[in-house]
Amino acid sequence: MITITGMGLLTPVGRGIDEVYDALLHGRSGIAKPPPDHPIANSIELAGILPPFDPGKIASGPDGKVMDRTVILAQLAAEDALADAGLTIGENVDPDRIGVIIGGVGGMATLEQQVLARAERGRAAVSPYLLTGILPNMPAARVAIRFGLRGYTSAVGTACASGAQAIADAARLIRSGEADVVLCGASEAPLFPTFAETFANARALARGWDDPAEASRPFDLRRNGFVLSEGAALLVLESTEHAVARGASGYADVAGYGVNSDAHHPTAPRPDGKGAAECMRRALVSGGVEPRQVGYVNAHGTSTKLGDVAESVAIGLAFGDHAPAVSSTKALTGHMLGTSGVVEAAASALAVNAGLLPPTYNLQDPDPACPLDHVRKEPREAHLEYALSNSFGFGGQNVSLLFGPPSTANKSEGKDW
């Protein structure tokens, strides 16, 4: 068995488990108009921007000056997750038996800055640190270097599914016996002009909203695109045997996972939902769980016309008459790309633990093409056997993660959510 024993969350709605989950339950949005001095102030209308934070020692000194924002965010999330899990490397975990898997698109800020520098000043302006700024494995590598984690280390690049796939890959590593503990998730810092403008020019982003908090509205008839956001989130996955041996408690178990491909289109989901439905079925089979045992699905639900409908069809195919409650927390966080799947996995794990389902805020008029048991307007109390979290990415990448109650002591015992 595999238990989540630690979480590190940096999101537009806050930092840390208590702050983030409370915001998701009670509707505190992290979406705003970029301030005038922000790099994307003239590029896109709205964004999910992280609250101010202190990078501390991470960004100080000559090494910190060449780190992309994705690396800094990943290290902060790693700090939080390892501390939350109560792990001390070399004392209660073997450094050769702890892995690191972090997804994301890489250092977009560094790439943009360096291209502009070269265009303005020529070859001499290109930094010799360009590669270590943009490589997608650098968040994982820098975390491994900083904390001395010598086990399996990898980066996942499956677009918006990358953080969820990092969790699935971590679970597979622990199941196979290759690791006792894996620090896994994603870090994304896409709020820079060129990257943001590609989504704007594709007319994929929400637009025309006077109140930024209303712009992201998954499954709602008036939805007109997603809100681009930044963030980092890492979970500590641990074999239950290892966790119990060191006296650790957990939030939830990773009971199963499914990963597959639509094999359909570079950007559009399969409209018949068959790929995503099969992915959900694989997660259930992986966990030995029947559809009727799943009481909640945290949907990918980005607030796009095609995506929300395709996912609704897929959920119907996967669960049939056993309709689970469904919500999308992107209404508050916006779309943090690969990081979204990790935050949503955390929300699903906490929903199992707390028996409280976060609603889809802004869902005022559900689209008839999305006939689901929507959790809306306020949290719903529910005793869950299992919850499922979906993440889908460009290229037809599908990941579904299945969560059940912790097989260790309950880490949230006594919490007043």
Please tell me the least confidently modeled range out of 32-36, 355-359, 412-416.
412-416
- pLDDT tens by residue, 393-416: 999 999 999 999 999 989 887 677
- pLDDT tens by residue, 206-252: 999 999 999 999 999 999 999 999 999 999 999 999 999 999 999 99
Closest to 411 measured CA to CA, from 3, 26, 2, 1: 3
Q: Is residue 56 scored above 80 in pLDDT? A: no
- pLDDT tens by residue, 188-203: 999 999 999 999 999 9
* Residue 279 among the catalytic residues: no
Q: Which among 160, 184, 279, 370 is annotated as catalytic?
A: 160
pLDDT > 90 in the chain, percent: 90
pLDDT of residue 54: 81
* Residue 265 among the catalytic residues: no
- pLDDT tens by residue, 60-96: 767 777 889 999 999 999 999 999 999 999 999 999 9
Q: Which among 184, 242, 300, 374 is annotated as catalytic?
A: 300
Please state which of the four CATH numbers 3.40.50.720, 3.40.50.880, 2.60.260.20, 3.40.47.10 is assigned to the domain occupying 2-395. 3.40.47.10
Map out the domains of the chain as residue ranges: 2-395
231-239 and 181-188: which strand pairing? antiparallel
Average pLDDT, the chain: 95
Q: Which among 184, 242, 279, 335 is annotated as catalytic?
A: 335
Tell me the CA distances in angstroms from 61 to 55, 66, 67, one per residue in order: 12, 10, 11
Q: Taking the mean position of all CA atoms in its chain, how far away is CA 376?
A: 21
pTM, entire model: 0.96
CB 115 within 8 A of CB 193: no
Which residues, including other chains, have CB under 8 Å from residue 230's CB and lie 6 or more apart? 12, 47, 48, 49, 50, 69, 73, 188, 189, 190, 191, 336, 339
The two tokens of residue 406 are 């912790």
* Residue 300 among the catalytic residues: yes
φ/ψ of 380, rounded to 5, equals: -115, 130
Measured in Å, how far apart are the chain's first and last C-alpha atoms?
Answer: 26
